[in-house]
Amino acid sequence: MEIKKRRVPPTSVVAAAPDADNVARAQQAKILKITTRKTYSSKLNCLSEWHSLHYPDCVSKEDGRTKQQSWIKWIRILENSECRFRRHV
């Protein structure tokens, strides 16, 4: 007596693989996005603090919060600065 194995249609197996792949890719992209946002946010905060100490004209304060002005203005000030390569103490 031979036991017949139940055959799974290939369409259901193939359909499951892309869904799992998409879920994994979406999760990885979400983690990368959050990590990247935290990294750049941290760098931005450090740079803003440094600029507020050395170039207070670039940062305006309203309602107790520091507002950042455009990066272009900061870059122009750094380009025109005489001591841009010297370490500020």
pLDDT in tens, 31-86: 878 777 777 777 777 777 787 787 776 665 554 444 555 566 666 666 665 544 44
Q: What's the rounded Cα separation, in Å, for the pair 39 and 79?
A: 25
Is 74 domain-assigned? yes
Is 40 domain-assigned? yes
Residue 1: predicted pLDDT: 59
Q: What's the rounded Cα separation, in Å, for the pair 58 and 66?
A: 11
Query: What confidence tier does 89 reach under pLDDT thresholds 50, 70, 90?
Result: very low
Per the structure, the complete domain to which residue 66 belongs is given by 18-80
Residue 65: predicted pLDDT: 47
Count up the domains in the chain and report the number. 1
Is 66 domain-assigned? yes
Global confidence as pTM:
0.35
Is 5 domain-assigned? no
Q: What's the rounded Cα separation, in Å, for the pair 24 and 82?
A: 51
List the structure tokens of 16.
């499951």
Is 8 domain-assigned? no
